[in-house]
Amino acid sequence: MRVLYLLAVYTHILAAIVWVGTNIVLAIAVVPHLRDPELRGPVLALLRGAGPRLSRVGWSALVALLVTGTFNLYVRGYLTTDAMMSAASNPIGIAVLLKLLGMSCVIALNVAHDLRWGPAAADAIERDPRGLQPETVRLRSLARYAGRFGTLLSLLLVAAGVVIVRGWF
Ligand code: HEM
């Protein structure tokens, strides 16, 4: 059991690195170049070409986080009826509840971004490269903020993980 637990924590941390790392690289080093008229075409082609594979990597990391996270909660004894009933009245239970709430939002934002706003924004940029139509502006903002907010929330989930292991103060 001990080896399985260590393996689950290792996989959880590795999946968090892949998920957060990919999102940060995209947000900091790739997506901002869509504003540059010279780089817009190649960056859009890169996002379209690499998009499906990046999306698969992202979803695999999220599933790994859910499975290993649930197992870690079980090993730590947080999945018993008693622990669940008293979760809201102790500091670590609150960190666990915040983590589960944050994870639900990350999944919802990722569904909206990967299946709807991201591809729709890419289509709109292709049709209207200078971004003059209100619909292009709207779709780009939705895709951008879904990505940014999801990344920010994921950073808070790392903090919640640290608190679950070490306590608040
Ligand atoms: C984007 C999603 C997530 C990220 C980025 C993330 C990140 C992390 C990180 C970096 C740690 C290690 C903290 C440390 O050792 O100080 C951790 C621990 C932990 N996480 Fe997550 N996590 C995510 C989702 C989840 C989910 C969905 C669950 C529960 C279903 C969960 C439950 C846990 C637990 C129980 C620990 C403590 C592991 C241990 O026993 O050492 N996490 N998380």
99 has a pLDDT exceeding 90: yes
CB 78 within 8 A of CB 154: no
- Given CA atoms 140, 18, 49, 38 in this order, what sign does their dihedral have? positive
The answer to whether residue 134 scores a pLDDT higher than 90 is: yes
Nearest 5°: the CA angle 136, 137, 139 is 65
Give the residue-averaged pLDDT of 18-41: 92
pLDDT value for 163: 96
Backbone angles phi, psi at 61, to 5 degrees: -65, -40
Question: Looking at residue 168, what is its pLDDT?
Answer: 85
pLDDT tens-digit readout, 107-128: 999 999 999 999 999 899 889 9
Distance 14 CA to ligand 1 centre (A): 10
Q: Does residue 131 carry a pLDDT above 90?
A: no
Any atom of ligand 1 within 6 Å of the Cβ of 70:
yes
Query: How many angstroms separate the alpha carbon of residue 69 from the centre of ligand 1?
Result: 6
Judging by beta carbons within 10 Å of its beta carbon (0-12, 13-18, 19+), is residue 66 exposed, middle or buried? middle
Domain count, the chain: 1
Q: What is the DSSP string of the chain?
A: -HHHHHHHHHHHHHHHHHHHHHHHHIIIIIGGGGGSTTTHHHHHHHHHHHHHHHHHHHHHHHHHHHHHHHHHHHHTTTTSHHHHHTGGGSHHHHHHHHHHHHHHHHHHHHHHIIIIIHHHHHHHHHH-TT--SHHHHHHHHHHHHHHHHHHHHHHHHHHHHHHHHH---
- Per-residue confidence (pLDDT) for residue 167, from 0 to 100: 92
Q: Is the CB of 122 under 6 A from ligand 1?
A: no
- What pLDDT shows up at residue 156? 97
Compute the average pLDDT of residues 13-19. Answer: 98
d(C-alpha 40, C-alpha 109), whole Å? 24
* Helix 134-166 vs helix 91-112: crossing angle, to nearest 10: 150
User: Which residues span the domain enclosing 138?
Assistant: 2-166
Inform me whether the pLDDT recorded for 51 exceeds 90.
no
Please report how many Cα atoms fall inside a 13 Å half-sphere around the Cα of residue 1, on the Cβ side: 5
The alpha carbon of 141 and the centre of ligand 1 are apart by a number of angstroms equal to 29
Whether the pLDDT of residue 129 is over 90: the answer is no
Determine the distance separating the centroid of ligand 1 and the alpha carbon of 6, expressed in angstroms. Answer: 13
pLDDT of residue 105: 98
- With pLDDT > 70 as the criterion, what percentage of the chain qualifies? 100
